[in-house]
């Protein structure tokens, strides 16, 4: 403690757990809350590398991001899964700030134990994403269980939606956060759950539909939204709130067309939510290139020609350009 610069001492009085290291990540001091959380006394942990608490549960990418930021003199925030002195696991949200004093650099790490937050538990982002994706897939498949090929279609739509969303974001430099891309991807699998309310005789009828049959099929968008509303009313859980809200937009609007001739509300252009415009392209492409009870499978070339023809009519022109470029890059 005597070797610690006096200007760093006030940090140890914070109510949160605090660790102070030198530029080489050697621990110089910790405060009482840190000792309580980790089980390490200051005298036994001082002089050790901060990695003494490290576990393999924290992704390597997290440590790499931290090192890159600190090497540039930038502050960094993230989540660590660490090990206490008694070998038990704890999760912490940490902010590390670089401090320069008398031409020497120090790292001030401020921890909060996530297990102590009001929610009562902590789920890493990766696990939340996995749970959301899996649960939405189960929901979508259970609503369309009558079609034995539906699972493959839903998975293909989800995977291609993810690729197209990433590609479109990068091509146009839209700066969409990864969280938004993930929400669109997860929610895309819900696009046709409303078809569970359409009679099979109409849904899988070979040949053209009569006018009244077409009207019934088009009701699947509103039926799907009603299903989501009922699920969310019963679930009342923030874990799925954003995905279900995004899902409602996709369900309701993925049959709208860029020129305003779609259904159910004849929206046009950018009035159609972007997530619905993305799924519209992907869904049509996968439907065309798949065998259905009422149609033969189209070749990829024929399906791409149709997508191209419908640029600015059925589909968002920029999304068509991204989709064609994505498929082209994948085939090279």
- Residues acting as catalytic residues: 195
Asked whether the bond before 264 is cis by omega within 30 degrees of 0, the reply is yes
Task: For residue 204, give the DSSP letter.
Answer: T
Residues 6+ apart with CB under 8 A from 304: 285, 324, 327
Alpha-helix residue ranges (DSSP H) falling in the chain: 32-38, 42-45, 60-71, 125-143, 150-171, 178-188, 200-203, 211-218, 220-235, 241-253, 274-288, 300-309, 317-331
> From the centroid of its chain, how far is CA 49?
34
Half-sphere exposure of residue 296: CA atoms within 13 angstroms, side-chain side: 3
Q: Of 112, 124, 25, which Cα lies nearest the Cα of 66?
A: 25
Q: With beta carbons less than 8 A apart as the criterion, state whether 121 and 153 touch.
A: no
Kindly give, in sequence order, each residue whose CB lies less than 8 Å from that of residue 267, ignoring residues fewer than 6 positions away. 253, 256, 260
């Amino acid at each position: 403690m005597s070797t610690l610069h006096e200007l760093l001492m006030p940090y140890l009085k914070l109510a949160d757990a605090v660790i102070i290291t030198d530029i080489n990540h050697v621990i110089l001091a910790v405060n009482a809350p840190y000792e309580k959380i980790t089980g390490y006394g200051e005298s036994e942990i001082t002089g050790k590398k901060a990695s003494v608490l490290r576990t393999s549960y924290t992704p390597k990418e997290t440590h790499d991001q931290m090192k890159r930021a600190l090497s540039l003199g930038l502050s960094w925030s993230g989540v660590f899964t660490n090990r206490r002195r008694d070998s038990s696991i704890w999760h912490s949200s940490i902010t590390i700030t670089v401090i320069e004093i008398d031409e020497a650099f120090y790292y001030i790490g401020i921890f909060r134990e996530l297990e102590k937050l009001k929610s009562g538990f902590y789920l890493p982002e990766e696990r939340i994403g996995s749970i959301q994706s899996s649960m939405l897939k189960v929901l979508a498949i259970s609503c369309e269980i009558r079609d034995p090929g539906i699972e493959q279609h839903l998975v293909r739509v989800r995977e291609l939606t993810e690729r197209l969303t990433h590609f479109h974001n990068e091509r146009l430099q839209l700066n969409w956060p990864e969280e938004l891309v993930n929400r669109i991807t997860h929610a895309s699998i819900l696009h046709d759950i409303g078809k569970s309310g359409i009679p099979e005789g109409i849904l899988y009828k070979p040949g053209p539909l009569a006018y009244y049959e077409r009207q019934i099929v088009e009701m699947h968008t509103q039926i799907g939204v009603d299903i989501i509303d009922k699920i969310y009313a019963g679930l009342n859980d923030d874990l799925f709130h954003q995905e279900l809200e995004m899902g409602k937009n996709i369900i309701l609007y993925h049959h709208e067309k860029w020129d305003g001739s779609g259904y159910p509300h004849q929206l046009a252009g950018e009035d159609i939510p972007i997530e619905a415009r993305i799924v519209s392209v992907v869904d049509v492409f996968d439907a065309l290139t798949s065998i259905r009870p009422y149609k033969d499978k189209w070749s990829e070339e024929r399906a791409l020609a149709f997508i191209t023809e419908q640029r600015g009519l059925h589909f968002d022109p920029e999304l068509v350009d991204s989709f064609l470029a994505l498929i082209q890059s994948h085939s090279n």
